Amino acid sequence: MAEDSRLTKTMTGAQDDPALRDELSVFGLSDTEIDTYLALLSLGEAPTRAVAEEADVTQRAVYGIAERLERRGLVRVKEHASPTTISALPPKEAIANLSSRLEALTPSLEERFEQTTTEAPEIQIIKSRETVLKRLRNALSEAETEALVAIPDHVYPEIEAELRAAVDRGVLVFLLLGETVDPDDDTRDFTGVADVVRSWDASIPFLYTVDNEAAMIGDPHVLSMQHNDKEAVTISQPHLTSSVLGMYLSAYWPVSTIRHVTEPDSLPASYDWFREAVLQAFLHWEAGHDFWADIVTESGAELSGKVSDVRQAFVEPSTNDFTLETSLHLETDDGEVSVGGPGAFIEDYRAEAVTLRFE
């Protein structure tokens, strides 16, 4: 392919070439993985210490990065050598490996494309504050797995009961409050209202998304008490809802202030919603617990292993390498594997169900 040829040629360029780094990131490589891979292209075969110095990462990190690069078909790790050495595969061979993985997705993607209909997405414009508030309350009351809500702080008392009821039903709830007078005020108790609450003193667009199936987004002042001409738009197409959710989690969520984080669940605990499993795994990880995960994947394969890493940006500190990365890493009998949720394409597996447990 022309893209492959162009990238193969540029892979012999300088390590700081921004165009080269951008093209490698398209294949899902993080900044540290790109640094390490480019270092290996310059060094040829080298021990881990030399790679660490060239890439400006820790030697310990090099081992994990090398394993991930090897799984992508970019490098070869000689673990039986003393010391362990790593070498980059020839660029043409590496690009061929990446291309084959992308081409393997073609049948599934084409099948999904052919199943789409010509029906227009169900989108409605709403101008009434009462209707917007009623839709929000109904959405929270009908939520089964997850709800993300972003509202002006003054609206919070009007939906607090629905938020509590959703949490009581086991719904994963993320709440973002805008226009807060004091975003650092820690005297308010949000226990039982949401799993994670964040706030910001700025005005933010009003939003809710529920179960990745329905969403509403609008001007922040659509919920103002006084009459105005502001609007909100409802969306009932899953792919559009996911896009709206992703925009908020990447643009508004990280810059707000943490106000409340739920306590870790007692283990063992099982989860059908992957983001909830990742959040709970991170809470146990931060608490210093050693714990294991049993995962049923989309393909039906079953994975079990000690949780070795959790990538997320729901709570601080963020541990993801790139925007919206949400994954679990397990130490299995076959080595470390990465697991993402539905639609994941960088991780090794996609999870259907997750059970977290102590050994």
Number of folded domains that form the chain: 3
The Cα 29–Cα 22 span in angstroms is 10
With respect to residue 205, please indicate whether it lies within any of the assigned structural domains.
Answer: yes
With respect to residue 70, please indicate whether it lies within any of the assigned structural domains.
Answer: yes
pLDDT at 1: 46
CATH code for position 106: 1.10.10.10
- Pair (290, 245) in one structural domain: no
pLDDT at 2: 44
Task: Report the run of H or E that residue 235 belongs to, with start and end.
Answer: strand 232-235
pLDDT, averaged per 10 consecutive residues of the chain (359 residues), comes to 45 61 78 89 89 89 88 87 88 80 76 61 80 93 95 94 96 94 76 95 90 89 75 84 86 90 96 96 96 94 95 94 91 94 90 95
Domain boundary among 214, 233, 261: 261
CATH code for position 240: 3.30.870.10
pLDDT at 9: 43
With respect to residue 248, please indicate whether it lies within any of the assigned structural domains.
Answer: yes
pLDDT at 21: 82
Domain boundary among 243, 261, 279: 261
- Pair (44, 136) in one structural domain: no
- Pair (319, 300) in one structural domain: yes
> Residue 63 belongs to what domain range?
2-112
With respect to residue 93, please indicate whether it lies within any of the assigned structural domains.
Answer: yes
With respect to residue 118, please indicate whether it lies within any of the assigned structural domains.
Answer: no
Tokens of 169: 């039903």
- Pair (132, 224) in one structural domain: yes
- Pair (22, 63) in one structural domain: yes
pLDDT at 13: 46
- Pair (220, 176) in one structural domain: yes
Burial bucket for residue 236 (CB in 10 Å: 0-12, 13-18, 19+): middle
- Pair (94, 127) in one structural domain: no
Domain boundary among 232, 261, 290: 261
pLDDT at 289: 96
Greatest CA separation for the chain: 74
Angle made by CA atoms 127, 239, 130, in degrees to the nearest 5: 20
- Residue 158's CB: how many other CB atoms inside 10 A? 13
- Pair (38, 134) in one structural domain: no
CA distances from 9 to 6, 80, 95, 100, 214 (A): 5, 32, 11, 19, 45
- Pair (56, 166) in one structural domain: no
- Pair (26, 127) in one structural domain: no
With respect to residue 9, please indicate whether it lies within any of the assigned structural domains.
Answer: yes
With respect to residue 117, please indicate whether it lies within any of the assigned structural domains.
Answer: no
- Pair (11, 106) in one structural domain: yes
CATH code for position 347: 2.30.30.690
